Chains A and B, each alone.
Chain A
Amino acid sequence: MTEEIIIAGFGGQGVLSMGKILAYSGIMQDQEVSWMPSYGPEMRGGTANVTVIISDERISSPILSTFDTAIILNQQSMDKFEDAVKPGGVLIYDPNGITRHPEREDIEVYQIAAAEEASNMGMNKVFNMVVLGGYLKVKPLVKMDNVIKGLKKSLPERYHHLLPVNEKAIKRGLEIVQEYKKN
Chain B
Amino acid sequence: MEKELRLMKGNEAIAEAAIRAGVDAYYGYPITPQSEVMEYLTEQKPEDRSGMIVLQAESEVASINMIYGAAGAGKRAMTSSSSPGISLMQEGLSYIAGAELPCVLLNVVRGGPGLGTIQPSQADYFQSTKGGGHGDYHLITLAPSSVQEMYDFLKISFELAEKYRNPAMILSDGAIGQMMEKVELDDPVSRRTEEEIINDFPWASTGKKNRERNIITSLELDPAKQEQINLNIQKKYREIEEKEVRFEKVQCDDADYLLVAYGTSARLCQETVKLARDKGIKLGLLRPITLYPFPSKEIATMVNDRVKGVVAVEMSSGQMIEDVKLAVNGKVPAEHYGRFGGMIPSPEKILEFLENQIMGG
Verify if A83 is at the interface (C-beta below 8 Å from B). no
Main secondary structure on B side of the interface with A: mixed
Binds B, one of A7-15, A31-39, A93-101: A31-39
Verify if A123 is at the interface (C-beta below 8 Å from B). no
Verify if A5 is at the interface (C-beta below 8 Å from B). no
Determine if B174 and A60 form an interchain contact, defined as CB atoms under 8 angstroms apart.
Answer: no
- The one of B7, B181, B270, B271 in contact with A153, judged by C-beta atoms closer than 8 angstroms, is B7
Determine if B118 and A40 form an interchain contact, defined as CB atoms under 8 angstroms apart.
Answer: yes
For A61, what are the chain B residues with a Cβ–Cβ distance below 8 Å?
267-268, 270-271, 347
CA of A60 to CA of B119 in the docked complex: distance in angstroms? 20
Determine if A20 and B271 form an interchain contact, defined as CB atoms under 8 angstroms apart.
Answer: no
Contacting residues of chain A (35-94) with chain B, CB-CB under 8 angstroms: 35-37, 39-41, 59-63, 65
Determine if B5 and A34 form an interchain contact, defined as CB atoms under 8 angstroms apart.
Answer: no
Least CB separation from A150: chain B residue: B7
Determine if B7 and A60 form an interchain contact, defined as CB atoms under 8 angstroms apart.
Answer: no
CA of A63 to CA of B350 in the docked complex: distance in angstroms? 14
Q: What's the minimum C-beta distance from A6 to chain B, rounded to whole angstroms?
A: 14
Q: What's the minimum C-beta distance from B271 to chain A, rounded to whole angstroms?
A: 4
Verify if B32 is at the interface (C-beta below 8 Å from A). yes
Determine if B344 and A63 form an interchain contact, defined as CB atoms under 8 angstroms apart.
Answer: yes
Q: What's the minimum C-beta distance from B145 to chain A, rounded to whole angstroms?
A: 10
Determine if B180 and A34 form an interchain contact, defined as CB atoms under 8 angstroms apart.
Answer: yes
Verify if B231 is at the interface (C-beta below 8 Å from A). no
- The one of B174, B181, B346 in contact with A34, judged by C-beta atoms closer than 8 angstroms, is B181
Q: Using C-beta atoms within 8 Å of the partner chain, give the interface range for chain B.
A: 20 to 34
Least CB separation from A32: chain B residue: B182
Least CB separation from A63: chain B residue: B344
Determine if B267 and A35 form an interchain contact, defined as CB atoms under 8 angstroms apart.
Answer: no
Least CB separation from A40: chain B residue: B118
Verify if A127 is at the interface (C-beta below 8 Å from B). no
Determine if A62 and B33 form an interchain contact, defined as CB atoms under 8 angstroms apart.
Answer: no
Determine if A39 and B7 form an interchain contact, defined as CB atoms under 8 angstroms apart.
Answer: no
Determine if A154 and B7 form an interchain contact, defined as CB atoms under 8 angstroms apart.
Answer: yes
Most chain B beta-carbon contacts within 10 A, residue among A20, A39, A61:
A61
Determine if A37 and B7 form an interchain contact, defined as CB atoms under 8 angstroms apart.
Answer: no
Verify if B130 is at the interface (C-beta below 8 Å from A). no
CA of A24 to CA of B6 in the docked complex: distance in angstroms? 8
